[in-house]
Structure 1
């Protein structure tokens, strides 16, 4: 009786299974379990809506995943192939104006501090002892007076603005020519 059951289950496993199309059948050559163990698919009941009729619900956003390994810094290699001469001129002009103003302010502050400390009077006394000319008095403020020093610092600041702007613009042109010939400056940037 057992041999007959084994033969029957083997025949059922190789028996053609209908696929739903008329006249076509698929055969299965592997038997894993009897057909009775599989539960039949149940049709949807009236209480349960079909998949196409179910309302679409939005899922709550998932929390950010915790990194299991430390993130390594990205490295990007870039090449500065061209510098715009107009932008180089504008930036150098603004920076040189700022440096010129700083030079004038520093000159005024330094001269005021030296005068308050009495440095000019001491220099007058030392030079008067060295020269020892009784009829002529030496005054260093004739050479380094406040108006002379501030006027000289303003002139130096204006010349500085003109020279730095011209040099930076010329340097941008020269960089563009040299980078066209041999390539630009290569930078490696990292993401921390």
Structure 2
């Protein structure tokens, strides 16, 4: 580090931060009576960032919504299977079939040809559950992707949604 002489017109060299060096050079003796600087107290401040969601990638939304709807389908299928097994074990479907059969019998011994026991068979109940679940997967995935595209169109017009993020403590 060079110290300019009084007749030298060159500016003093800058320190590592780009500003002129403050204080004595390394290795120089400290002036008498000076105290070492105290360490600054660390205070907890919450940092905040103001961001704008200006675009949502439709392909990423499609993949995410497909996976989420697939997981929901599996949960739905397992829940229906467990509930069906519990109700079947309690005899609810047999009692329902007997009640419907008693209600549909004719007065002179003629029966209306319905078979309520087949309505509540495990294959039919779980088959309809699978059909509704597959339809839900397709619809949720498609609607989520279309919603992402519509958001992108609206965000081009108005600039998106402003979000403020703050650092958690």
TM-score of the pair, normalised by structure 2: 0.66
- The answer to whether the 8 Å contact 1:127/1:138 transfers is no
For structure 1, the 5+ residue unaligned runs are 1-50, 52-63
Q: Give the alignment partner of residue 91 of structure 1, picking from 58, 64, 80.
A: 64
Q: For 1:35-62, what per-residue CA distance to the aligned partner results, in whole angstroms no more than 9, with x for missing partners? A: xxxxxxxxxxxxxxxx7xxxxxxxxxxx
What secondary structure sits across from 1:82 in the alignment? coil
Per-residue deviation at 1:82? 0.3
- The answer to whether the 8 Å contact 1:114/1:120 transfers is yes
Q: How many correspondences in the alignment?
A: 129
Per-residue deviation at 1:73? 2.3
Per-residue deviation at 1:139? 5.0
Corresponding residue for 2:145? 169
Corresponding residue for 1:77? 50
- The answer to whether the 8 Å contact 1:124/1:138 transfers is no
Corresponding residue for 2:123? 147
What secondary structure sits across from 1:73 in the alignment? coil
Per-residue deviation at 1:131? 3.6
- The answer to whether the 8 Å contact 2:94/2:117 transfers is no
- The answer to whether the 8 Å contact 2:65/2:144 transfers is yes
- Higher Rg: 1
Aligned-residue RMSD, C-alpha: 2.5
- The answer to whether the 8 Å contact 1:78/1:189 transfers is yes
1:181 aligns with 2:154: no
TM-score of the pair, normalised by structure 1: 0.59
Per-residue deviation at 1:178? 0.2
Moved more, 133-142 or 182-191: 133-142
For structure 2, the 5+ residue unaligned runs are 1-26, 28-38
Corresponding residue for 2:5? none
Q: Give the alignment partner of residue 84 of structure 2, picking from 111, 125, 131.
A: 111
Q: Structure 1 CA distance, aligned partners of 2:135 and 2:165? A: 37
What secondary structure sits across from 1:83 in the alignment? coil
By relative contact order (CA 8 Å, sep 6+), the higher-ranking structure is 2
Q: For 1:150-185, what per-residue CA distance to the aligned partner results, in whole angstroms no more than 9, with x for missing partners? A: 111111111111111111111111000000001111
